[in-house]
Amino acid sequence: MKSPLLEFTEKGIYCPPADVYLDPWKPVDRALITHGHADHSRPGHGHYITHHSNIPILRHRLGGLSARGLEWGESLRVRGVRFSFHPAGHIVGSAQIRVESRGEVWVFSGDYKTGVDGLSTPFEPLPCHTFITECTFGLPAFSWRPQDEVMGEINSWWARVKAEGKTAVLFAYSLGKAQRLLAHLDPSLGTVFTHGAIENMNEVVRGLVPLPPTRRITPETGSGELAGNLVLAPPGAHGSAWIRKMAPFETGMASGWMAFRGARRRRAVDRGFALSDHCDWQGLLDSISATGAERIICTHGYSDILSRYLREQGFDARTEATQYRDEDGEPEGELKPGEPS
C-alpha cells in the first residue's frame, strides 16, 4: 500500500513526498498556512507559505518572518507535489490547501464557512479524493440564521441600548469576527469605538479590504463620548476595569456558541448573537458532498460525531487528532479566573 499524501504527525499535518507541513503546531522548516488565527499559524517556523493576504496578519501577530505569498489557485510545486490555496470563507485571507500528486487530490479545509460574509473571499468546494474537514460546529443543534437577520438583531439591540442612554459593548474575536461585525453595523446609529487589540488588527485588515471608520479608545476617551455608541472589544476584556469605566452599558457577544443558552449564561453577557465564521451542521454536510470526496478526515470540533454520521451515510470517514482548538473548546475567547461559578 502506498503511503498517504498527508499524514498526521506529532508536529502537524505532514506531506512526506514534499517534506512540508500544513498548519503545523510545532516549529518546522517549511509551513503552509491556511489563515492567521493563532492555532493555525504558530510562531517559530523557518518559512511560511500562504495566501498573500495572510502575510501582513502573520507579521502583525508573529513579528518579522520569512514568508512567501501566493495568489488564489496559483500552483507551487515542491518535489513533484502541487500545492495551491483556495478561498475558505472563514476570515480575510483564509484558505483551503489543495494538494495534488500523481492524479490524487487531497484538500485540507483549515477553518471554513459556506455563507457569504461580505469581507472574506467566499468558500469554494474543490473536487478531491480526500477532504480534511474541521468540525467545530459539527452537531445538528447548530443551524445558523442568515447574516442579515443576525446583524439586524445586533443593530436593533444597539438602537435600544442607545435609546436608554447606555453604551453597547459587543465582544468579538479580534481577527475576523470584529471586522465582519464592523462591516455590517449600522453607521447611522453612531460611532463604533474599538479596543486597542481590535483596532491594531483593523489597521492591518484595512490594508487588505476597506472597512468603515472606527475610533480607538484611549485613556483620554471619556465615558460621556461613549454613551449611545458601540464598543467592539475582545472577549478577554469582559469584566475588566477597562470595561467597567464605560458604565452604564449593556454587553453582547457574537459567536456561534451563543446558539446555546448555557453558553450565553456562562459568559454572563446580556445578549448572545449566534454569528459564526464556521460551518453549521448542514453547511458541513453540503460542503463535504460538494467536494465529491469518498474519504473524509474529521479534525477539531465534534469530529467523532460527524465521522460516525458520515460513515453511516456511506463515506470512508475517520477522526484525526490535531492541536487546533479541541472539541467544545469555545475558541472565540476564554473565561477568566475569578468569574463566579
Partner 1 sequence: MKAFAHLVKTLDGTNKTNARVAALAAYFREAPDADKVWAIAILSHRRPPRPVNTRLLREWAAELAGIPLWLFEESYHIVGDLAETIALVAPIKQGPAGGTPSLARYLEDLIVLKGQPEEAKKAYLQKQWQQLDYYERFVFTKLFTGGFRIGISQKLMTRALSLATGIDPDVLAYRLMGGWDPSKTSFRSLVLEPQEEERDSRPYPFYLAYALEGEPEALGDPADWIMEHKWDGIRAQLIVRNRNLYLWSRGEELVTPSFPEFQALRDALPDGTVLDGEILPYPRGQVGSFNDLQKRLGRKTISKALLKNVPVILRAYDLLEWQGEDLRQQPFLNRNRLLTTLVAPLAGDPALPLDLSPALEIPGWDAVHKERGRSRDWRSEGLMLKKKDAPYQVGRKKGDWWKWKVAPLTVDAVLIYAMRGHGRRSNLFTDYTFAVWDEKTDGQRELVTFAKAYSGLTDAEFREVDAWIKKNTLERFGPVRSVTPTHVFEIAFEGIARSNRHKSGVATRFPRIVRWRKDKPIEEANTLADVVNLIP
Smallest separation (angstroms) from partner 1 to the CB of 262: 3
Q: Which is nearer to partner 1, 71 or 339 (CB)?
A: 339
Residues numbered 235 to 254 that lie near partner 1 (CB under 8 A) are: none
C-beta separation of 182 from 155 below 8 A = no
Smallest separation (angstroms) from partner 1 to the CB of 312: 7
How many residues are there in the chain? 341
Smallest separation (angstroms) from partner 1 to the CB of 160: 10
Secondary structure element (H or E) that encloses residue 144, with its range: none
3-state class (DSSP) for residue 258: helix
* 59-67, 167-175, 205-213, 262-270 -> range binding partner 1 (CB under 8 A): 262-270
The yes or no reply on residue 165 touching partner 1 (CB under 8 A) is no
The yes or no reply on residue 261 touching partner 1 (CB under 8 A) is yes
* 46-54, 79-87, 135-143, 205-213 -> range binding partner 1 (CB under 8 A): 135-143
Smallest separation (angstroms) from partner 1 to the CB of 268: 6
The yes or no reply on residue 224 touching partner 1 (CB under 8 A) is no
Q: How far apart are alpha carbons 125 and 292 in whole angstroms?
A: 9
The yes or no reply on residue 295 touching partner 1 (CB under 8 A) is no
- Bridge-partner residues for 78, per DSSP? 81
* 29-37, 88-96, 217-225, 320-328 -> range binding partner 1 (CB under 8 A): 320-328
Which residue type does 97 have? I
The yes or no reply on residue 146 touching partner 1 (CB under 8 A) is no
> Which position has the grid cell 470512508?
316
**Where are the extended beta strands (E) located within 185-340?**
192-194, 215-216, 230-233, 249-254, 271-273, 295-301, 316-319
Q: How many residues bind partner 1 (CB under 8 A)?
A: 34
The yes or no reply on residue 312 touching partner 1 (CB under 8 A) is yes
The yes or no reply on residue 140 touching partner 1 (CB under 8 A) is yes
CB-based contacts of 229, cutoff 8 Å, min separation 6? 162, 167, 168, 190, 191, 192, 193
286: which DSSP letter?
H
204: which DSSP letter?
H
Site for partner 1, rule CB under 8 A: 139-143, 259-266, 268-271, 302, 305, 308-309, 312, 326-329, 334-341
